[in-house]
């Protein structure tokens, strides 16, 4: 059974237009990116900074303004999308599981990117390690991409920060696009991942996944909570106060993650309790609306 | 802490199913969560904020467990035994002797003592433990109901004057002994008119003692003791008994010297043996004067009477004392011969250890009765020796069946091993006629004629009877030495059995000892005492409560029996003090240590109920908050 049915794929095709020009790449591709770069179509000037290519200095403007400026143009680039997916065991919780939701979102993003001619690099974090897959390009790679996603079984702990480190040091280099899928319940690994991507000037979007069970835990009696990743146990005496405190703590956590994303220039996209996929993708492809849930 | 129903602790077994339910409940459901980070932060904050509420999950169990424990304790009925250490222990000794009946201003001294006791009780704290001892003829505990505030008043009102002098010292000793093992402040308060003997005790009393004197000290003169001793002098066959009587009088009054008259006479005697007028100073005075008792007097005991003006207490004005026995044996000679029995009398008078009296003497006061003719048909009381007269021909005499008379009898045998006839020689003695006796069981034949036994003897536990079936006046026996020796041996035989014949000499106020041959019958037939006590040789003690007390116990020797009599009117002359322990009647002494038990089970039951209620309230609140 495929991750995305035919209706979903058609819906994604319809969203392709919205995706164009909103991610940038290093090489000239077939879609327009928001990133300003050295291209034929002039966009604007900016002050010269050490390290800029001298060939991009607009000498005419220097003559008029007596100031070194660099020409910036709307880039026609070859875009690489880094898809970093948290496949730790915590993603296997919830009904449906967060991992299932992450698979579908990753599949949708990958499908959209592949059909747009972008190169898609899938990196999965699971079992305390990373499992990078070979970059894929073109619509024909969709089935391979989908199989790769389906074959993954969550396990162990997350190390998204390590996955990010691989992404920014790989062949795609700097200034790529990245989409990170995680529940961020990994003792800061996700936030470190986002920090690395941001430092590498990647256009990053963080899709925050939380299950309905995490948003509203149904605990009627005293229970022993078991951490699926560490096996640690915690006895709790359940009462409404505890549940209220938990909800407040969860809200604070989500706000903290969102705030961190804003501070790092990362788009924050909440995917709580399995929202409709196309709606989520529409928000993802739309103009940046940070903090939107 | 003690438990009145320890089986109630079995209820503690309910803890087991309770604990099982608790631990089963503690088996929580497991929930897998993505991360404990948020939960741990939440619980950490809540622990810091709620303090003891964190134990709420266990609180219900512990409340139920504690309530079960309290319930089990309540069922076991715990009591706490406490020593009444802080309580003051007070014993009121109320003098109820006869002098307390003296009236002063319309009220008796006992009334004044009651008032003083109630006034004292009004000043005591409520937790003071008050006990009452009445010091009358004997000290007696008077039980007081501790829960009745009027118990002391009622007990005081129930006390009455007893017709005896009493001994306050015994009552004080009783009170001191009862307080000996009690803790806390102890005190004895004696309410008395001060006429009883307690001065010697007050100085060395083991607990604080307060003497509350009631009434006015007026002259109280009495006899403390009366004693006699035989005056030394030459002995004679028929003589008077010369005694020195020693009298101790006492004046407990505050009026200084009192003039008193002492009159001494024999019991039942009309004439006074001696009368002395003297002055009794405060305290004791000893007076000695001679007393001459004629042989014809009844010298068994002396009676002393003291007479003094304004004497407050007359109970101790009389004293009686048995006259001590002398070494000489009193022998009573009874003869039907017109001219008497000169041979017999002469032979008896030859013995210097014989006091010869005539037939008028009380047979119970003599050691031997010698009959010459006129023999009673039954064995007389005490030791006796009988001679038949020639003209008398009884068929039975002194309990022996007689045969004869036999003319010119001939001796054939003498029991020389018997001390009474050891010097009798038949060859020298001739009788004109004689009777023989038929021997019964236990009878002895001391001498035998050719017709049969004619000197026979019979011994009982109390007396010895010897019968001679011939008249010494109608023989040549008085001319022989053996006749004198026969009478002397008969006297000696009676002397050895004298104590056994003194059963009738018991008298109140005197201590008598006599041999006890396995079984001794003591008959007290004088005055108001008519009681027969049988002593079978075992250790035994008798009390006769009315009108006096009789103590009968073994003496020093294995066969000695001592008898001591105390008369109600002669208590001041008690020859043997009653041990106070024997005087404890009519109530129990206080519990040593003054222990009290406080029930704790109501507290435990209330605690169990409170814990259950608290648990129910917590459960209700929890359900409401969850629901």
The Cα-based distances of B27 to A243, A280, B108, B567 in angstroms read 21, 42, 86, 89
- At residue B76 the predicted structure's pLDDT band, cuts being 50, 70 and 90, is confident
Bridge-partner residues for B286, per DSSP? B248
Q: Using the beta-carbon criterion (under 8 Å), do A225 and B625 form an inter-chain contact?
A: no
The reply to whether omega before B181 is within 30° of 0 (cis) is no
Spans of all domains in chain A: 6-20+79-285, 27-77
Q: In percent, how much of chain B has pLDDT > 70?
A: 63
Model pLDDT, residue A207? 94
Report yes or no: B490 and B466 within 8 Å, Cβ to Cβ: yes
- At residue B314 the predicted structure's pLDDT band, cuts being 50, 70 and 90, is low
Q: Would an 8 Å CB–CB cutoff place A186 in contact with chain B?
A: yes
At the topology level, CATH places domain A6-20+79-285 in Rossmann fold (3.40.50)
Task: Say which residue, B213 or A193, is predicted with more confidence.
Answer: A193
The Cα-based distances of B38 to A241, B187, B224, B264 in angstroms read 15, 77, 106, 120
Model pLDDT, residue A29? 42
- Taking the CA of residue A136 and the nearest CA in chain B, the distance in Å comes to 31
Q: Which of A237, A239, A247, A273 is best to mutate for the B interface (most B CBs within 10 A)? A: A237
Rounded to whole angstroms, the maximal C-alpha distance in chain B is 152
| C-alpha to C-alpha distance for B111 and B166, rounded to whole angstroms | 18
| Selected residues 158-177 of chain A with any CB under 8 Å from a CB in chain B | none
Q: Which of A227, A229, A244, A272 is best to mutate for the B interface (most B CBs within 10 A)? A: A227
Q: Using the beta-carbon criterion (under 8 Å), do A224 and B29 form an inter-chain contact?
A: yes
Q: Using the beta-carbon criterion (under 8 Å), do B42 and A214 form an inter-chain contact?
A: no
- pLDDT at position B267 over 90: no
Q: Using the beta-carbon criterion (under 8 Å), do B34 and A185 form an inter-chain contact?
A: yes
B233 CB contacts (<8 Å, ≥6 apart)? B242
Q: Write phi, then psi, for B398 (nearest 5 degrees).
A: 55, 30
Model pLDDT, residue B567? 34
- At residue B537 the predicted structure's pLDDT band, cuts being 50, 70 and 90, is very low
Q: Which of B29-38, B122-131, B197-206, B583-592 has the lowest mean pLDDT?
A: B583-592
Model pLDDT, residue B361? 65
Q: Would an 8 Å CB–CB cutoff place A234 in contact with chain B?
A: yes
- Exposed (0-12), middle (13-18) or buried (19+): which is A47, by Cβ within 10 Å? exposed
Q: Write phi, then psi, for A15 (nearest 5 degrees).
A: -90, 0
Report yes or no: A87 and A154 within 8 Å, Cβ to Cβ: yes
Nearest chain B alpha carbon to A233: B36
| C-alpha to C-alpha distance for A154 and A93, rounded to whole angstroms | 10
Model pLDDT, residue B560? 33
Residues of A in contact with B35 (CB under 8 A): 90, 185-187, 227, 229
Tell how far CA B68 is from the center of its chain: 58
Model pLDDT, residue A103? 94
Q: What is the pLDDT of residues B31-72, one digit of tens each?
A: 888 888 888 888 887 765 555 555 566 778 888 889 989 988
| C-alpha to C-alpha distance for B402 and B453, rounded to whole angstroms | 10
pTM of the model: 0.40
- Taking the CA of residue A283 and the nearest CA in chain B, the distance in Å comes to 26
Q: Using the beta-carbon criterion (under 8 Å), do B35 and A236 form an inter-chain contact?
A: no
User: For chain B, what is the mean pLDDT?
Assistant: 71
Three-state secondary-structure class, residue A140: helix
Q: Using the beta-carbon criterion (under 8 Å), do A223 and B57 form an inter-chain contact?
A: no
Q: Write phi, then psi, for B97 (nearest 5 degrees).
A: -70, 175
Q: Around Cβ B582, how many Cβ atoms within 10 Å?
A: 12
| C-alpha to C-alpha distance for A222 and A235, rounded to whole angstroms | 7
- Taking the CA of residue B42 and the nearest CA in chain A, the distance in Å comes to 6
Model pLDDT, residue B500? 44
Model pLDDT, residue A32? 45
Q: Which of A98, A221, A230, A234 is best to mutate for the B interface (most B CBs within 10 A)? A: A234
Of A186, A232, A245, the CB nearest to B46: A245
Continuous H helices in chain A? 6-14, 16-19, 59-65, 98-115, 142-150, 160-169, 189-199, 212-215, 240-264, 277-285
Q: Which of B25, B34, B42 is best to mutate for the A interface (most A CBs within 10 A)? A: B34
Nearest chain B alpha carbon to A217: B33
Q: Would an 8 Å CB–CB cutoff place A90 in contact with chain B?
A: yes
- The tens place of each residue's pLDDT in chain A, 293 residues long, gives 688 898 888 888 877 655 554 444 433 344 444 444 445 566 677 778 766 678 778 888 888 888 888 887 655 455 788 999 999 999 999 888 999 999 999 999 999 888 877 788 899 988 888 877 788 887 888 889 999 999 999 998 888 998 888 888 876 655 688 999 999 988 888 999 999 988 888 889 999 999 998 998 888 777 889 999 888 988 887 878 888 889 999 999 999 999 999 998 899 999 998 889 988 888 887 755 333 33
Nearest chain B alpha carbon to A250: B38
Which residues of B lie inside 8 Å of A (Cβ-Cβ)?
28-43, 45-46, 54, 56-57, 622, 625-626
Q: Using the beta-carbon criterion (under 8 Å), do B622 and A239 form an inter-chain contact?
A: yes
- pLDDT at position B587 over 60: no
Residues of B in contact with A222 (CB under 8 A): 28, 57
Q: Would an 8 Å CB–CB cutoff place A218 in contact with chain B?
A: no
Residues of A in contact with B43 (CB under 8 A): 234, 236, 242
Q: Which of B27, B42, B54 is best to mutate for the A interface (most A CBs within 10 A)? A: B42
Nearest chain B alpha carbon to A243: B42
Closest CA to A117 of A239, A215, A23, A10: A23
A181 CB contacts (<8 Å, ≥6 apart)? A83, A84, A85, A86, A102, A105, A106, A207, A209
| C-alpha to C-alpha distance for B107 and B110, rounded to whole angstroms | 8
Q: Using the beta-carbon criterion (under 8 Å), do B33 and A224 form an inter-chain contact?
A: no
Q: Would an 8 Å CB–CB cutoff place A190 in contact with chain B?
A: no
Residues of B in contact with A186 (CB under 8 A): 35
Q: Using the beta-carbon criterion (under 8 Å), do B622 and A228 form an inter-chain contact?
A: no
Average pLDDT for B226-245: 55
Residues of B in contact with A185 (CB under 8 A): 34-35, 37-38
**Hey, what are B337's tokens?**
């011969």
Bridge-partner residues for B83, per DSSP? B595
Q: Which of A265-274, B104-113, B390-399 has the lowest mean pLDDT?
A: B104-113
| C-alpha to C-alpha distance for B134 and B137, rounded to whole angstroms | 9
The Cα-based distances of B574 to B167, B280, B551 in angstroms read 11, 22, 12
**Hey, what are B116's tokens?**
């003083």
Residues of B in contact with A214 (CB under 8 A): 33-34
Closest CA to A259 of A293, A215, A290, A214: A290
Residues of B in contact with A242 (CB under 8 A): 42-43, 46
| Selected residues 4-63 of chain A with any CB under 8 Å from a CB in chain B | none
Of B32, B39, B56, the CB nearest to A246: B39
Three-state secondary-structure class, residue B243: strand
Nearest chain A alpha carbon to B28: A223
Query: Can you say whether the dihedral through the CA atoms of A217, A223, A225, A226 is positive or negative?
Result: negative
Q: Using the beta-carbon criterion (under 8 Å), do A228 and B45 form an inter-chain contact?
A: no
**Hey, what are B499's tokens?**
């104590």
Closest CA to A89 of A162, A147, A159: A159
- Taking the CA of residue B625 and the nearest CA in chain A, the distance in Å comes to 7
Of A90, A237, A241, the CB nearest to B34: A90
Q: What is the pLDDT of residues B116-144, one digit of tens each?
A: 999 888 888 877 888 899 988 778 888 78
Q: Domains plus CATH for chain B?
A: 2-80+600-626 (no CATH), 89-213 (3.40.50.410), 221-311 (2.60.40.150), 329-497 (3.40.50.880), 503-583 (no CATH)
Task: Say which residue, A63 or B380, is predicted with more confidence.
Answer: A63
Nearest chain B alpha carbon to A185: B35
- Taking the CA of residue B44 and the nearest CA in chain A, the distance in Å comes to 11
Tell how far CA B35 is from the center of its chain: 97
């Amino acid at each position: 059974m495929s991750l995305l049915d035919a209706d979903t794929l058609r819906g994604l095709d319809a969203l392709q237009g919205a995706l164009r020009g909103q991610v940038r790449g290093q090489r000239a591709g077939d879609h327009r990116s928001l990133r300003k770069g050295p291209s034929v179509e002039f966009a604007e000037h900016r002050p010269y900074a050490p390290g800029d290519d001298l060939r991009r200095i607009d000498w005419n403007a220097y003559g008029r303004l007596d100031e070194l400026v660099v020409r910036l143009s709307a880039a026609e680039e070859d875009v690489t999308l880094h898809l970093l997916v948290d496949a730790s065991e915590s993603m296997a919780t919830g009904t449906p599981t967060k991992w299932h939701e992450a698979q579908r979102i990753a599949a949708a993003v990958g499908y959209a990117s592949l059909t747009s001619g972008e190169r898609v690099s899938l990196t999965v974090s699971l079992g305390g390690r990373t499992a990078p897959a070979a970059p894929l390009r073109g619509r024909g790679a969709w089935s391979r991409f989908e199989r790769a996603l389906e074959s993954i079984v969550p396990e162990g702990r997350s190390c998204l920060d390590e996955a990010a480190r691989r992404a920014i040091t790989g062949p795609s280099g700097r200034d790529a696009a990245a989409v990170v899928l995680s529940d961020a319940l990994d003792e800061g690994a996700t936030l470190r991942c986002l920090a690395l991507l941001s430092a590498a000037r990647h256009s990053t979007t963080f899709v925050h996944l939380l299950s309905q069970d995490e948003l509203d835990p149904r605990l009627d009696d005293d229970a022993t909570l078991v951490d699926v990743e560490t096996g640690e146990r915690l006895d709790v005496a359940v009462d409404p106060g505890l549940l209220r405190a938990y909800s407040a703590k969860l809200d604070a956590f989500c706000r903290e993650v969102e705030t961190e994303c804003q501070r790092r220039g990362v788009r924050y996209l909440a995917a709580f309790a399995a929202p409709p996929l196309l709606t989520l993708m529409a928000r993802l492809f739309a103009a940046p609306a940070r903090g939107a849930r | 802490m003690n438990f009145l129903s320890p089986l109630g602790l079995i209820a503690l077994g309910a803890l087991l199913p309770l604990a099982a339910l608790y631990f089963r409940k503690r088996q929580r459901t497991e929930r897998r969560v993505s991360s404990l980070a948020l939960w741990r932060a939440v619980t950490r904050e809540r622990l810091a904020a709620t303090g003891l509420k964190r134990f709420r999950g266990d609180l219900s169990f512990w409340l139920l467990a504690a309530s079960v424990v309290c319930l089990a304790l309540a069922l076991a009925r715990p009591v706490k035994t406490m020593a009444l250490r802080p309580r003051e222990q007070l014993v009121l000794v109320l003098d109820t002797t006869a002098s307390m009946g003296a009236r002063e201003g319309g009220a008796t001294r006992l009334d004044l003592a009651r008032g003083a006791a109630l006034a004292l009780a009004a000043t005591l704290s409520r937790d003071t433990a008050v006990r009452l001892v009445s010091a009358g003829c004997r000290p007696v505990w008077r039980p007081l109901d501790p829960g009745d505030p009027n118990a002391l008043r009622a007990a005081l009102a129930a006390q009455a004057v007893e017709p005896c002098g009493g001994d306050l010292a015994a009552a004080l000793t009783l009170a001191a002994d009862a307080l000996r093992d009690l803790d806390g402040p102890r005190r004895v308060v004696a309410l008395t008119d001060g006429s009883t003997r307690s001065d010697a005790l007050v100085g060395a009393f083991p607990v604080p003692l307060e003497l509350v004197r009631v009434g006015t000290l007026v002259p109280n003169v009495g006899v403390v003791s009366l004693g006699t001793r035989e005056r030394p002098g030459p002995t004679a066959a028929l003589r008077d008994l010369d005694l020195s009587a020693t009298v101790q009088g006492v004046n407990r009054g505050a009026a200084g010297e009192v003039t008193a008259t002492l009159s001494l006479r024999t019991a039942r005697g009309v004439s006074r043996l001696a009368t002395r007028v003297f002055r009794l100073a405060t305290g004791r005075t000893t007076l000695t004067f001679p007393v001459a008792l004629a042989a014809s007097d009844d010298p068994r005991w002396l009676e002393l009477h003291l007479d003094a003006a304004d004497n407050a207490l007359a109970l101790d004005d009389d004293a009686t004392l048995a006259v001590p026995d002398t070494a000489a044996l009193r022998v009573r000679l009874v003869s039907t011969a017109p001219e008497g029995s000169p041979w017999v009398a002469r032979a008896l008078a030859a013995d210097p250890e014989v006091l010869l009296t005539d037939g008028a003497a009380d047979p119970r006061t003599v050691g031997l009765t010698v009959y010459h003719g006129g023999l009673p048909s039954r064995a007389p009381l005490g030791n006796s020796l009988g001679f038949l007269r020639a003209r008398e021909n009884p068929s039975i005499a002194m309990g022996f069946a007689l045969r004869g008379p036999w003319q010119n009898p001939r001796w054939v045998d003498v029991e020389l091993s018997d001390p009474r006839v050891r010097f009798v020689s038949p060859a020298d003695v001739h009788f004109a006629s004689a009777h023989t006796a038929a021997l019964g069981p236990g009878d002895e034949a001391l001498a035998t004629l050719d017709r049969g036994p004619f000197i026979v003897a019979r011994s009982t536990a109390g007396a010895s009877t010897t019968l001679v079936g011939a008249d010494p006046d109608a023989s040549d026996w008085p001319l022989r030495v053996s006749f004198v020796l026969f009478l002397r041996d008969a006297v000696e035989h009676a002397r050895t059995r004298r104590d056994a014949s003194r059963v009738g000499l018991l008298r109140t106020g005197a201590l008598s000892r006599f041999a006890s041959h396995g079984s001794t019958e003591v008959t007290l037939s004088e005055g108001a005492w008519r009681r027969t006590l049988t002593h079978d040789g075992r250790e035994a003690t008798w009390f006769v409560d009315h009108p006096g007390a009789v103590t009968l116990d073994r003496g020093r020797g294995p066969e000695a029996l001592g008898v001591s009599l105390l008369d109600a009117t002669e208590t001041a002359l008690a020859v043997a003090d009653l041990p106070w322990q024997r005087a404890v009647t009519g109530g129990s002494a206080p519990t040593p240590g003054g222990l009290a038990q406080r029930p704790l089970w109501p507290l435990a039951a209330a605690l169990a109920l409170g814990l259950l209620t608290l648990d129910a309230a917590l459960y209700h609140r929890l359900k409401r908050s969850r629901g």
